[in-house]
Amino acid sequence: MVTVKKILGQTKPLKTIDRIIRLGKRGQAILLTGCPGIGKFAMAVHMAYRFLCQDDNKGCGKCSSCRSISNFNHPDFLLVFPFPNISPESKRNTVFHFSDSVSSGARYSNETLDEVNRFLAEKSADPYRIVSFSKKGNIPVEVVKDLIRAISKRPMLGERRAVVVCDIDQMAFGAADLFLKTVEEPPEDSLVIITSSKTHVLLPTLLSRTLKIPLNPVSYDLIKSYLEKQGIDGSHDFYIRFSSGSPGLALKAYEDDLVERRDKLWKIVAEFIEKQSLTNTIEALQRRYQKPDYDAVRNDFNILEKILRDIYILKFGLEKKLINIDIKDRIKTVARVAPSTGALRRWFKILAKASRVHGVNNVSADIAFIGMFIEFWRMKDLH
C-alpha cells in the first residue's frame, strides 16, 4: 500500500499536494509529470487515499475507504492506465470497475483482463515498479467514454471521487479530445489527477488547463535504500547512475540486466569510433537486431544516449559525472579519438530522430539503428 512514508523524496511537491487536499482546492485537474518510475503513480494514489479518507484526509490506511483503495476496488476511485489489447477477436470482459458490464463498448479478452490484473497486482506491491507488457498498450476511446459516463454520475459512497488517469499521452487517437472537457472543468465533487512522462506530446489545451506538479529526481541514497529493500545490494552503482533519479528505472535496469546489454552495445560503439569501419558496424548491428524485442530495443536507445553523453562530458573533463563509471578508463580512451563536441551534438539529434522513427513510426530496430550509424558516419568529421 502507498503511504506518505513510502513516497521517496518529493518534499516540495508533497507540500503543494498537502495544501490542495487541505483547502479542498478543486475545479482544476492536476498533472503530475516526471520520467517513468519517478513516482507519479505512487503520488497519484497517495492523493486519492487522502482525498477519500474518512479520517480527516489523513490517508490513515485503516478506514474502510483507505482499505478499499489499497485493493483498487473503491467505487469512487476511478483508475485508468494504458494496457495492451491481446486477442482482440475474443471480446468478453470489461476491464475497469467503472465500466457498465451491460452497456459498455469496452470489452476485452481474458488475456487482456489478465494483463490488467497483473499491472494492478504489481503496482499494489510496489507503486514504483515499471510494469512492461508483451505488446504496446494504450487507453482506448471506449474506456474513456465509460470513464466520462461514470464521472457524470454522483459518487457511489460518499461526497467525493478521485479520478486518476496514468500516462495520458498514451490515450488513443481521439480519446484525449473526448477527455479534454473533464480536464477543463472537473466536477465539483471530483479530484482529477493525470500523469505523463511525455508532456511534449500532449495537447496544448490540456497542458494549459491543468495545475502542473513536476516530480523531482530522487536522491542517490534514497534509490540505494529502495533497491536494498528489494534485496538488491552490492553492485547497484551503475543502475542508480543510469536511472537519472528514478527508482523504478533503477530497478528495471537491474532486472533487465542492462550492464550486459550496455557492454555489448559499448563494444559496437567503441569499435565504430576507434576502428572507423562502417561495414563492420553495420554487420554487428544486423546480428544484434536479427530478432529484436521491443522493450530491449527501447533500452538500447537509452543506453546509447548515455554512452554518448559520457563521451561528450569527458570532452569537458567532467569525469566524476560519468554514468558508465565502471568502464571509465575505456571510455576515456575512446573519447580521445571521438568526434568533436559539435559533431556529437548532431549525433544526439540523430539518435533522438532514430528513437522516434522506431518508437512512433514503427520502423524496425535494425533499420533504425543502421540508419542512425550511417548518419553518425556522415557527421563524424564536422567541427
Q: Which residues bind Zn ion (CB under 5 A)?
A: 53, 55, 60, 63, 66
Nearer to Zn ion by C-beta: 29 or 79? 79
| Residue 65, φ and ψ in degrees, nearest 5 | -65, -50
Nearer to Zn ion, 57 or 93 (CB): 57
**What distance in Å separates the CA atoms of residue 307 and residue 238, rounded to the nearest whole number?**
12
Smallest distance, Å, CB 150 to Zn ion?
A: 22
Q: Which residue in the block uniquely carries the three cell numbers 543506453?
A: 303
Name which of 63 and 222 has its Cβ closer to Zn ion.
63
- For the bound state, the minimum distance from the C-beta of residue 61 to Zn ion, rounded and expressed in Å, comes to 6
Residue 149 CB, shortest distance to Zn ion, in Å, is: 28
Q: How many CB atoms lie within 10 A of CB 216?
A: 14
Of 158 and 342, CB closest to Zn ion: 158
Please state the closest distance from residue 73 (CB atom) to Zn ion, in A: 15
Q: Which is nearer to Zn ion, 65 or 355 (CB)?
A: 65
Minimum CB separation of residue 81 from Zn ion in Å reads 23
Alpha carbons 271 and 278: distance in angstroms, whole number: 10
Least distance in angstroms from the C-beta of 98 to Zn ion: 21
Count Cβ atoms below 10 Å from residue 51 Cβ, excluding itself: 24
**Of the candidates 33, 80, 30, 36, the residue with the CA atom closest to the CA atom of residue 50:** 30
Cβ proximity to Zn ion, 158 vs 174, nearer residue: 158
Output the nine-digit C-alpha cell for 367: 533499420
Joined grid coordinates for residue 257: 540486466
Taking the least distance from each CB to Zn ion, the nearer of 59 and 186 is 59
Residue closer to Zn ion by CB (options 69, 273) is 69
Q: How far apart are alpha carbons 237 and 108 in whole angstroms? A: 42
What's the min distance (Å) between Cβ of 194 and Zn ion?
24
Instruction: Please name which of 186, 190, 187, 188 lies closest in space to residue 210, comparing C-alpha atoms.
Output: 186
Cα(108)–Cα(261) distance, rounded to whole angstroms?
35
In order of 73, 105, 163, 190, the CA distances from 142 in angstroms are 20, 6, 17, 21
CA distance 345 to 368: 19
CB of 10 to Zn ion, least distance (A): 21
Angle formed by the axes of helices 328-337 and 294-314, nearest 10°: 70
**Cα(119)–Cα(80) distance, integer angstroms:** 11
Cell 556529437 sits at which residue? 344
